[in-house]
Structure formats: C-alpha cells, structure tokens
Amino acid sequence: MAKNEIQAAISGDLSLKILNQLPTPVMAVDKELNIIFMNKAGCIFTDKKWNEIKGRKCYDVFGSEHCNTENCRMKRVIKGAQPKTIRNSVLMNGKSIPIEYTADALRDNSGEVIGGLEYIIDITETVKQEQKLKEQSRTILEISTPVIKLWDRILILPIVGVVDSYRAQQMMDTMLNKLKQTSSKIIILDIQGVAAVDTAVANHLIKIAKATRLMGCTCIISGISPAVAQSLVQLGIELGNILTNSDLQEALADAFRILNYKVLKQD
C-alpha cells in the first residue's frame, strides 16, 4: 500500500473514531436522503442499531416536524442553501423530543455535493427551563398587576414601576377580564408608584381608559403628582375626558359620586 493511501486510511479511521466519540448525534445522507452514516450517539438517540438505520430515509427514522416539508434544512443545503441552526422536534418511540439541528452540504474531494451532513442536540432540558422562566415571568406580571375589588362595582389597579408596551397589554387584558367577571362600573388606575410618565406611558394609559369605556366602565387615574402633571403639560399630552386625581381618596370620592353612593355616619 502506498504511503499516501496508508495516511488516508489512518486519517479516515481517526475521523470515524472522533465522530463516534462525540456525545451528539451526527448523521450523513446521500442526495436521495438515504442514511449513509450515523455515529454511536445517533444510534443511541434513535434507539436503533446501525444495521437497522443504514440505507433508510432519514425522515422515516426521525419523523420530525420539518421532514418532507420545505422547512427541511437537509434538503435545502443539498440544493445549495447555507448552513443554519434551527429548532425542530422529532418523534422517538411515540415521544416528541425538542432538538436543535444544523445541516450542511456533504461534498466529495472535488467539492461536488454528494449529500448532506447533520448534527443534532437534544434541548429537552433547555426547553423545560425556558418554559419555567416564562411561567415565572407570567406569575411576576400577574403579581405586579393586581386588580383589586375596592368597593361594590369599583376596582383599583395600583401601578408600580415601568410601564412598557408588553406590560401595558398585560394590564389591559387583566383589567378587561376582571371587568367582565365583576360587571364593575369604575376602575381606578393609581399611578403613584410610577416614577416618570412620558408620552409612551401616557398613551398606554389612554388606550387602557378607552378600552374600559367600551365595556361600559369609567376609568379614573389617581396619583397624579406635581412632577407628573408638569411633565404631561410640557409634553403636550391631553388626557381628554379621563378623570384624574392627585390621590386615591379623591378618586374614590369621584367613584362614589358617579355611582350615587353615599357614606353615612352611624351614631
């Protein structure tokens, strides 16, 4: 055997050992998507032996959401697309497993595309952590948006901190659902805990007030501090016919007046 042939054999054997020692599944297919290689991690992942996988269509083995669709990256790279890592899910033993996979064209020594190469990462734990963080974020938002029944047909939403677009939408959803549940006629937005009110925050509050009005409810904004009042004037923001008060006590008095409630002293 010639020296270069021996080196090629040694190199090929070493490459195969490296691929089989990788902890992530690696697969190669020909241009017809027949599997021509699967490392040990891939066999373990599919719970199949190599002789059960060899020559089969990759979509028959993995049954992923992208298989046999235009989203299949393996098809795309074989046709000339650039490598890209995307998320997917595969069906293994009746169980859906979330993965990230990267596909690239498989080329021969002359550079001609002869198939595709793909490696897969099981992201089950990552997805679980992401879902946990989303649930925690949702819980924090719910805690930070407590719509409280202050009196019969009167609700209050104390707002503390920064009001961005996402939080404003969450506030609106929470308020409208609460209005539907309680058939309340007054809701007080107490913004005493909002450090600064700019154009964006004011617009969010106006949208919330308009949405509640469409449900037959009057919105009162309380907690307007001198600094906030000056900011609104300087910014040229008009709150229209939205009732405003400097403190919650005055807002509650307005609510009582609108509903014709009277507070009577008992002897």
Q: Which pLDDT does position 140 carry in this prediction? A: 61
Token representation of residue 5: 């042939």
Q: Which pLDDT does position 9 carry in this prediction? A: 42
Predicted TM-score (pTM) above 0.75:
no
Q: Do domains 16-128 and 145-258 have the same CATH topology?
A: no
Cα–Cα distance measured from residue 39 to residue 24, given in angstroms and rounded to the nearest whole number? 9
The answer to whether the beta carbons of residues 231 and 197 sit under 8 Å apart is yes
Q: Tell me the CATH class for 16-128.
A: alpha beta
Cα–Cα distance measured from residue 163 to residue 167, given in angstroms and rounded to the nearest whole number? 6
Residues with Cβ < 8 Å from 96, sequence gap 6 or more? 89, 90
Which among 259, 165, 245, 156 is positioned nearest to 205, based on CA atoms?
Answer: 165
The answer to whether the beta carbons of residues 86 and 120 sit under 8 Å apart is no
Question: Which residues of the chain register pLDDT less than 70?
Answer: 1-12, 136-145, 266-267
- Domains of the chain, residue spans: 16-128, 145-258
Q: Which pLDDT does position 141 carry in this prediction? A: 60
Residue 247 CB: number of other CB atoms within 10 A?
14
Residue type at 89?
Answer: S
Alpha-helical (H) ranges within the chain are 3-21, 40-46, 50-53, 58-62, 73-78, 124-144, 165-182, 199-214, 226-235, 248-258
Alpha-helical (H) ranges within 108-194 are 124-144, 165-182
Q: Which pLDDT does position 259 carry in this prediction? A: 94
Strand order in the sheet with 154-160: 148-151, 154-160, 186-193, 218-222, 243-244
Q: Is 145-258 assigned to CATH 3.30.750.24?
A: yes
The answer to whether the beta carbons of residues 99 and 89 sit under 8 Å apart is yes
Q: Which pLDDT does position 16 carry in this prediction? A: 81
> Count of alpha carbons within 13 Å of 125, Cβ hemisphere only?
1
Q: Which pLDDT does position 148 carry in this prediction? A: 87
